[in-house]
Amino acid sequence: MEYRQVGRSGLTVSAMGLGCNNFGARLSEDDTAKVVHAALDEGITFFDTAAMYGDGLSETYLGSALGPRRDEAVIATKFGAHRSPGTDQATGSRGSIIRECEAALRRLGTDRIDLYYQHYPDKHTPIEETLSALDRLVRDGKVRYIANSNVSGWQIADADHLAARGRTDRFIASQFEWNLLKRGAEAEIVPACRRFGLGMIPFFPLASGLLTGKYSAGEPFPAGTRLATSSYFAKDATEQNFATVERLRAIADEHGHTLLELAVGWLLAQDGVPSVISGATSVEQVRQGAASAARTLTHEAVDAVTAATEL
């Protein structure tokens, strides 16, 4: 397993990260432990969870599974999920952040969070207040580094400028959707991250399985898969996307790779990407993900993939 630095920081993570959104939702506590232990055994150290995953169970199960192996892991979690209308909407306020952090630490059974994300921007709270609260958590040793997620390019620039002006801790990473079927982030978010030195953490790198080859055009989605159980994800199974997948399949065959290796390897070849986060529901999927991160693409393969997926 390769290990990389996150942005302009001393935080080191594995090139393949484990997304923990299945914990407490599709996986029991026992099955979560099997997946987590397999990841650690494969050299995966980066675990990405959130307070909203499994309504808190993801953090609880992850913390329990890590147990005495906690120091082998880099735990990233998130605060600030959207709230129902009528409740306090200020998810980025000082009080909300402190409460969420304390609750996350209890669920994880740890004394610190390695990377703490603001899950979504909060239009109700000035970013200066959010940064100030996060800076306090860093100074108190409860959080090591901070990051953002689902933000725009201008928000990345704004937060960096205000952190410098206020002399608070700054975001070192940004997490956003980026894969070979969705490259829109390259218009503004990617350049902003590179300009301000944020590590880029792609989520949904496999486009909900479309980039693994498990789905075929004109065929029913396999039972139990994400596309079969969610209309939100199923909408991406378009004729255009299937055509792109077939072009990628041909490139994979030509260069001796699988589609999975192409999807992961292309992202890891992009400047500023320290880790690719992918979920797993089995030990075998963990091992496949780790193996895919180990297969570095040639420059020729990267160029071919880039050309085949440009709009």
pLDDT in tens, 214-237: 877 767 777 767 766 666 676 777
What is the model's pTM? Answer: 0.93
Domain ranges of the chain: 3-213+260-299
More confident residue, 139 or 212: 139
Q: How far apart are CA 226 and CA 235, in angstroms?
A: 11
Q: Give the mean model confidence (pLDDT) for residues 122-141.
A: 97
Catalytic residue among 53, 116, 120, 215: 53
* Cα-to-chain-centroid distance, residue 252: 24
Amino acid at 142: K
Residue 241 pLDDT: 86
Is there a contact between 59 and 77 (Cβ–Cβ < 8 Å)?
yes
The backbone torsions φ and ψ at residue 102, rounded to the nearest 5 degrees and listed phi first, read: -60, -40
pLDDT over 90 percentage in the chain: 85
Q: Give the mean model confidence (pLDDT) for residues 161-176.
A: 97
Residue 53 a catalytic site member: yes
Return the CATH architecture of domain 3-213+260-299.
Alpha-Beta Barrel (3.20)
